[in-house]
């Protein structure tokens, strides 16, 4: 009897220990084939089309208990058949300490994803997911969230030589940000506020112009979801100086409304406006750029998931026009999503794209982009997606991208994502 009682107590203790300490191992396998035509500058030799297969693999280990969490994720990405071997790095390596009252501290390499991911996002579409080396202090409770985080990047741990930072894994040298979010469940309303400072390295190492320039961003994101409607709005303002010491006066605003008459259908429309640099020279031939450039007025969405916005072909705010200068962007879009059965969805949309500022020798409209995509949830861990995009560009698009093929651009893709949990 004593032996049985001891055995039962031992099993109970092991069960409680297993509940208090949880270890999990997971992976994310992404394989995407693409075929595209158009978009290369006319000066580049060769045929302006390409087809290739990309892959990205994430392998993660996570440990959890009541007051402590930790995660380590390795990442590999590359192109099928490439002799370069792709890119292998550590995507996540963080530890989180929590208190019962909602306060926590999280330090290490981690992804930052806030609101609609316009400013901070994981950019999961990219084959190398984005993460940051930061210290994050936060509180979550009573329908409120407060996150205060900061980073300081350096190339190597030198004991001398200053703090010059260039060519590292992050585009910034220092980062400080405060994010606050409030939910009002009774009316399905949420509001977020973001205040951020980014330190950008300027000049050459050891030169007189070596300096860290500071730029700031403030903004808000609003969401309202009554019954079958969804409304979202955002506004952000950029100030300070860029890495060349030029003052920044840029802003953006966006709005989106969606309506779901039933579970199978959703219709949406919206508008994005991102300010642009003025006096943008667009000669028929020769260098595109600025005739006078004293103030930066082109808005930068910094570390967001750009693929979610501005058209799936990523011609804007993923690939720039020239030297980082931009005439801004207007994106008027409308579309719908259909879910004929539980595991299948189809999405179709149309974008009208134009510059935000006037060009010297061209009109504002850039063209129309039509997108169709579909996904099938094969199982709990696996999903198959495919899509096709077509853009009919204007003469302005031809001038800005320096390619006659930008009049008719085509891009198709098919992607398999499998995310198993091994333990």
Beta bridge partners of 22: 64
223 within a domain of the structure (yes/no) = yes
* Mean pLDDT computed over 316-330: 70
Q: Residue 299's domain spans which residues?
A: 22-157+167-418
Provide long-range contacts, Cβ within 8 A and 24+ apart, for 335-341: 335/267, 335/268, 335/269, 335/371, 336/265, 336/266, 336/267, 336/268, 337/265, 337/266, 337/267, 337/268, 338/264, 338/265, 339/263, 339/264, 339/265, 340/264
259 within a domain of the structure (yes/no) = yes
Q: Is the pLDDT of residue 293 over 60?
A: yes
9 within a domain of the structure (yes/no) = no
pLDDT computed for residue 374 by the predictor: 98
* Mean pLDDT computed over 105-128: 92
Q: Is 69 exposed, middle or buried (0-12, 13-18, 19+ CB in 10 A)?
A: middle
Name the more confident of 205 and 288: 205
Count Cβ atoms below 10 Å from residue 44 Cβ, excluding itself.
9
How many domains is the chain built from? 1
Q: Is the pLDDT of residue 16 over 70?
A: no
* Mean pLDDT computed over 36-40: 71
- E strand or H helix at 371, and its extent? strand 365-377
pLDDT computed for residue 9 by the predictor: 47
13 within a domain of the structure (yes/no) = no
Beta bridge partners of 99: none
Please enumerate in sequence order all residues whose Cβ is within 8 A of that of 146, keeping only pairs 6 or more positions apart, or say none: 138, 139, 140, 178, 179, 180, 181
- E strand or H helix at 253, and its extent? strand 250-259
| Count, residues in the chain | 423
- For the chain, the average pLDDT equals 88
The pTM assigned to this predicted structure is: 0.90
pLDDT computed for residue 57 by the predictor: 95
Alpha helices in 92-227 (DSSP H): none
| Matching residue, tokens 């806030």 | 114
pLDDT computed for residue 284 by the predictor: 60
Helix (H, G, I), strand (E, B) or coil at 124: coil
315 within a domain of the structure (yes/no) = yes
* Mean pLDDT computed over 373-378: 98
pLDDT computed for residue 193 by the predictor: 98
pLDDT computed for residue 360 by the predictor: 78
Which of 28-42, 67-81, 160-174, 231-245 shows the lowest per-residue confidence on average (mean pLDDT)? 28-42
Beta strands in 81-172 (DSSP E): 87-98, 103-110, 132-141, 144-152
8 within a domain of the structure (yes/no) = no
Per residue in 189-231, pLDDT tens?
999 999 999 999 999 888 888 999 999 999 999 999 999 999 9
10 within a domain of the structure (yes/no) = no
Q: Is the pLDDT of residue 8 over 50?
A: no
246 within a domain of the structure (yes/no) = yes
pLDDT computed for residue 273 by the predictor: 97
Strongest mean pLDDT among 34-48, 171-185, 298-312: 171-185
CB 170 within 8 A of CB 133: yes
Q: Is the pLDDT of residue 159 over 80?
A: no
Q: Is the pLDDT of residue 328 over 80?
A: yes
Domain with 260 in it: what CATH number? 2.40.160.100
Helix (H, G, I), strand (E, B) or coil at 405: helix
């Amino acid at each position: 009897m004593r032996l049985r009682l001891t055995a039962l107590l031992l099993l109970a203790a092991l069960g409680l220990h297993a509940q208090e300490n949880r270890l999990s191992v997971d992976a994310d396998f992404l394989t995407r084939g693409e075929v595209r035509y158009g978009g290369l500058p006319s000066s580049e030799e060769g045929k302006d089309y390409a087809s290739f297969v990309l892959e990205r693999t994430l392998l993660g280990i996570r440990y959890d208990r009541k007051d402590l969490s930790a995660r380590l994720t390795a990442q590999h990405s590359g192109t099928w058949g490439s002799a370069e071997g792709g890119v292998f790095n550590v995507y996540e390596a963080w530890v989180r300490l929590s208190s019962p009252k909602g306060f926590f501290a999280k330090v290490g390499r981690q992804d930052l994803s806030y609101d609609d991911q316009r400013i901070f996002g994981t950019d999961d579409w990219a084959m190398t997911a984005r993460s940051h080396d930061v210290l994050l202090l936060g509180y979550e409770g009573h329908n409120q969230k407060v996150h205060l985080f900061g980073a300081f990047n350096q190339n190597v741990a030198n004991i001398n030589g200053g703090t010059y930072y260039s060519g590292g894994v992050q585009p910034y040298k220092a980062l400080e940000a405060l994010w606050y979010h409030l939910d009002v469940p009774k009316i399905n309303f949420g509001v977020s506020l973001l205040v951020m400072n980014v330190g950008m390295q300027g000049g050459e190492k050891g030169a007189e112009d070596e300096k860290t320039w500071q730029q700031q961003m403030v903004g808000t994101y609003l969401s309202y979801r009554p019954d079958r409607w969804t409304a979202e709005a955002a506004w952000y303002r950029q100030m300070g100086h860029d890495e060349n010491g030029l003052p920044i006066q840029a802003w953006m605003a966006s709005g989106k409304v969606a309506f779901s008459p039933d579970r199978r259908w959703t219709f949406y429309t919206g508008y994005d406006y991102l300010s642009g640099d003025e006096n943008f020279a667009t000669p028929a031939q020769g260098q595109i750029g600025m005739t006078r450039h004293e103030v930066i007025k082109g808005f930068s969405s910094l570390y967001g998931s750009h693929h979610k916005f501005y058209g799936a072909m990523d011609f804007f705010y993923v690939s720039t026009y020239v030297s980082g200068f931009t005439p801004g962007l207007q994106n008027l879009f409308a579309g719908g999503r259909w879910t004929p059965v539980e595991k299948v969805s189809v999405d179709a949309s149309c974008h009208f794209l134009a510059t935000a500022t006037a060009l010297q020798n061209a009109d504002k409209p850039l063209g129309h982009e039509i997108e169709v995509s579909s996904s099938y949830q094969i199982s709990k861990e696996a999903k198959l997606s495919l899509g096709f995009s077509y853009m009919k560009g204007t003469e302005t698009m031809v001038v800005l991208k320096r390619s006659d093929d930008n009049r008719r651009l085509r891009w198709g893709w098919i992607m398999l994502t499998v995310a198993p949990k091994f333990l």
